């Protein structure tokens, strides 16, 4: 009698960038009852015709979007959430891309990699809630309209720059309803730095050498380097106002020693000729260190080499600088 409906109206969500991560979590939200539309470029025709099939360790399922767009539309009805699954790349302006669909009450959910990725979007939409999200998942887009979910899947969500809100809680409940473990964090920026402890060493090293995590840890000097980079991330995070829990370096190392050999997303991106998230994973951290007056020589070295790799790569003909350019998010 006094039960309050959790979803008084159908929640309206627009997924921008439906690569592996964006597509998977968009599909989960649809499964939870939300009205999920998608913007996709290269897979547009396939997804419009047949939706997205997800082969998942948690059980295969199918996602038929409410609507499929080739570029971000000005929606007839305002969106409750825009779920951004785009890669974080210098040539992509998330703000420019999503602007047509941002209404006064639209929360912008950045389901992306790296640190310090929120500020430009928050500045572009100062009156909108920015929800920062971290996906802990192994998921690949295997073909147009096909996603393969290999393992994990949990999310961390939090209001940016900190705290929580009804919209964050509502989104978290939607994810939980679709069997997606979702941790609501009141310090999501700290969580981003914490995730970087692992990403900052393993992504660049694995990509440069073509090695998996086990091979990296088997060489004493390389394992030592991994630890030094991790410690440096902790120093920069603390200087940036986000001290990480003590013992986190050891925990990351122990966990990686225990887990099966793993190929990082940066290595997979390079092997597939896709752009790599060098700025989100290293450039922003190096700049944060610089801003805080801190030396970050380990990351600076990795970053200096990675920028040369990016410069050496073939020009990305399919990437255009512009308002409505959509690139699908990576896994």
Q: For residue 153, what are its two tokens?
A: 């899947």
Query: Which sign, positive or negative, has the C-alpha torsion 237, 242, 247, 253?
Result: negative
Q: Which residue stretches of the chain are H helix?
A: 20-31, 44-50, 94-98, 119-124, 166-177, 188-209, 213-218, 220-239, 248-258, 265-271, 278, 284-291, 297-312
Q: How many CB atoms lie within 10 A of CB 193?
A: 25
Q: Whole-number minimum distance, CB 138 to a second copy, in Å?
A: 23
Contacts of 1 (CB under 8 A, 6+ apart): none
Given the rule CB under 8 A, which residues bind a second copy?
205, 208-211, 215-216, 218-222, 224-226, 228-229, 297-298, 300-305, 307-309, 311-312
Rounded Cα distance between 14 and 11, Å, is: 10
Query: Please, is 37 exposed, middle or buried when counting C-beta atoms within 10 Å of its C-beta (0-12, 13-18, 19+)?
Result: buried
Q: For residue 225, what are its two tokens?
A: 């380097």
C-alpha neighbours within 13 Å on the C-beta side of residue 230: 22
Q: Whole-number minimum distance, CB 235 to a second copy, in Å?
A: 12
Q: Whole-number minimum distance, CB 264 to a second copy, in Å?
A: 14
Active-site entry in 12, 87, 167, 195 = 195
Q: Whole-number minimum distance, CB 239 to a second copy, in Å?
A: 16
Rounded Cα distance between 305 and 325, Å, is: 28
Q: Whole-number minimum distance, CB 206 to a second copy, in Å?
A: 9
| C-beta closer to a second copy: residue 37 or 264 | 264
| C-beta closer to a second copy: residue 4 or 220 | 220
| C-beta closer to a second copy: residue 275 or 329 | 275
Rounded Cα distance between 13 and 327, Å, is: 18
Q: Whole-number minimum distance, CB 275 to a second copy, in Å?
A: 16
DSSP per-residue string spanning 232-264? HHHHHHHHTT-PPPTTHHHHHHHHHHHSPP---
Query: Please, is 146 exposed, middle or buried when counting C-beta atoms within 10 Å of its C-beta (0-12, 13-18, 19+)?
Result: middle
| C-beta closer to a second copy: residue 220 or 314 | 220
| C-beta closer to a second copy: residue 58 or 218 | 218
First-residue to last-residue Cα distance in the chain: 44
Q: For residue 109, what are its two tokens?
A: 């959910």
| C-beta closer to a second copy: residue 53 or 225 | 225
The reply to whether 195 belongs to the active site is yes
Q: Whole-number minimum distance, CB 179 to a second copy, in Å?
A: 39
| C-beta closer to a second copy: residue 219 or 323 | 219
Catalytic site residues? Answer: 195
């Amino acid at each position: 009698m006094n039960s309050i409906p959790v979803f008084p109206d159908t929640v309206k969500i627009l997924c921008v960038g439906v690569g592996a991560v964006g597509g998977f979590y968009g599909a989960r939200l649809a499964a939870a009852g939300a009205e999920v539309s998608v913007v996709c470029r290269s897979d547009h025709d396939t997804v419009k015709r047949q939706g997205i099939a997800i082969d998942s360790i948690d059980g295969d399922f199918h996602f038929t979007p409410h609507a499929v767009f080739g570029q971000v539309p000005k929606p007839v009805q305002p969106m409750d959430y825009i779920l951004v699954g785009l890669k974080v790349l210098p040539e992509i302006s998330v703000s420019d891309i999503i602007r047509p669909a941002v209404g006064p009450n639209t929360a912008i959910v950045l389901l992306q990699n790296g640190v310090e990725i929120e500020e430009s979007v928050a500045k572009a939409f100062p009156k909108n809630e920015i929800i920062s999200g971290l996906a802990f998942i192994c998921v690949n887009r295997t073909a147009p309209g096909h996603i393969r979910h290999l393992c994990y899947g949990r999310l961390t969500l939090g209001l940016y720059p900190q705290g929580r809100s009804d919209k964050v809680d509502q989104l978290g409940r939607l994810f939980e309803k679709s069997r997606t473990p979702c941790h609501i964090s009141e310090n999501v920026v700290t969580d981003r730095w914490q995730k970087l402890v692992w990403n900052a060493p393993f992504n660049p090293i694995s990509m440069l050498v073509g090695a998996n995590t086990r091979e990296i840890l088997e060489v004493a000097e390389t394992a030592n380097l991994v630890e030094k980079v991790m410690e440096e991330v902790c120093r920069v995070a603390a200087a940036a106002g986000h001290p990480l829990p003590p013992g986190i370096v050891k925990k990351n190392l122990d966990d990686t020693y225990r887990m099966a050999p793993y190929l990082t997303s940066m290595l997979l991106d390079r092997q597939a000729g896709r752009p790599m998230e060098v700025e989100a994973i290293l450039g922003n951290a190096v700049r944060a260190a610089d801003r805080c007056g801190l030396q970050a020589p380990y990351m600076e070295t990795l970053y200096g080499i990675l920028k040369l790799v990016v410069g050496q790569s073939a020009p990305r003909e399919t990437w255009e600088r512009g308002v409505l350019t959509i690139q699908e998010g990576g896994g």
